[in-house]
A and B are shown apart, each in its own frame.
Chain A
Amino acid sequence: MALERWFRRNKPTRKEEDNSPAGLWLKCDGCHAQIYRKDLVANRYVCPECDHHYRMPVDARIDLLADAGTFERWSGHIQAQDPLEFEDTQPYTERIEKAQKKHGRPDAIVTGAAELDGHAVALVVMDFAFLGGSMGSVVGEEIARAAERAAEEGRSLVAVTASGGARMQEGALSLMQMAKTTVALGALAERRLPYVSVLTDPTTGGVTASFATLGDVIFAEPGALISFAGPRVIQQTIRQDLPEGFQRAEFLLQKGMVDDVVKRSALKGRVAQVLKLLTAGLPEPTLEAPRAATV
Chain B
Amino acid sequence: MPLPFEQPIEDLAAKIRDMRAYASEQQIDLTEEIDALQARLDRLKRDTYDNLTRWQRVQVARAPGRPTGLDYLQHAFEGFTELHGDRTLGDDPAVVTGLATLEGASVVVIAQQKGRDTKENIHRNFGMSHPSGYRKAMRMFDLADKFRLPVVTLIDTPGAYPGLAAEEQGQAWVIAESIRRMSELTVPAVSVVIGEGGSGGALAIGVANRVLILENAIYSVISPESCAAILWRDAGEAERAAEALKLTSRDLVALGVVDRVIDEPLGGAHNDRDTAIALVKEALVEELAQLTHMSGERLRRARYERFRALGRFEAVA
Contact = CB atoms under 8 A, between A and B. Distances in A.
Interface of A: 76-81, 83-84, 86-89, 106, 136-138, 140-141, 144, 166-168, 170-180, 182-186, 205-206, 208-214, 226-229, 233-234, 237-238, 242-243, 246-247, 255-257
A10 B34 CA distance: 88
A172 to B, nearest CB: 5
B39 interface: no
B307 A183 contact: yes
Contacts of B251: 171-172
A233 B162 CA distance: 7
A183 B255 contact: no
Interface stretch (B70-78, B227-235, B262-270): B227-235
Which among B166, B167, B247 has the greatest number of chain A C-beta atoms within 10 A?
A: B167
Contacts of A88: 231-232, 244
Contacts, number: 191
B22 interface: no
A186 B181 CA distance: 10
B98 interface: no
A210 B176 contact: yes
Given A172-B246, A247-B167, A77 B220 contact: no
B168 interface: yes
Interface of B: 160-164, 166-173, 175-177, 179-180, 183-184, 199-200, 203-204, 206-207, 219-222, 226-227, 230-232, 244-247, 251-252, 255, 257, 303-304, 307-308, 310-316
Given A168-B230, A172-B219, A184-B308, A209 B313 contact: no
A170 B183 contact: no
Contact of B316 (A106, A182, A208, A243): A106
A180 B310 contact: yes
A255 B168 contact: yes
Given A171-B255, A172-B247, A211 B176 contact: yes
Contacts of A212: 172, 176
Contact of B160 (A81, A141, A228): A228
A183 to B, nearest CB: 5
B172 to A, nearest CB: 4
Contacts of B314: 78-79, 81
Which among B161, B173, B199, B315 has the greatest number of chain A C-beta atoms within 10 A?
A: B173
Contact of A206 (B221, B227, B247): B221
Given A183-B308, A184-B308, A246-B167, A173 B255 contact: yes
Given A89-B231, A140-B311, A214-B177, A173 B244 contact: no
Nearest to B169: A255
Given A174-B221, A228-B160, A179 B257 contact: no
B166 A228 contact: yes
Contacts of B310: 137, 173, 176-177, 179-180
Contacts of B312: 80-81, 83, 137, 170, 173
Given A176-B257, A186-B304, A214-B176, A228 B203 contact: no
Contacts of B162: 228-229, 233-234, 237
Given A173-B257, A247-B167, A257-B170, A182 B247 contact: no
A166 B221 contact: yes
Contacts of A184: 308
Contact of B307 (A80, A170, A176): A176
Given A84-B244, A179-B207, 17 more contacts: A78-B315, A81-B312, A84-B246, A86-B244, A166-B222, A168-B230, A170-B312, A171-B255, A172-B245, A177-B311, A183-B180, A186-B184, A209-B204, A213-B170, A214-B180, A227-B167, A228-B175
Which among A84, A106, A141, A171 has the greatest number of chain B C-beta atoms within 10 A?
A: A171
Contacts of A166: 199-200, 221-222
Contacts of B308: 144, 180, 183-184
A180 B163 contact: no
A86 B304 CA distance: 28
Contacts of B307: 176, 179-180, 182-183
B242 to A, nearest CB: 11
Contacts of A81: 312-314
A129 B231 CA distance: 18
B313 A206 contact: no
Which among A80, A173, A214, A247 has the greatest number of chain B C-beta atoms within 10 A?
A: A173
B212 to A, nearest CB: 14
A83 to B, nearest CB: 4
B175 A209 contact: yes
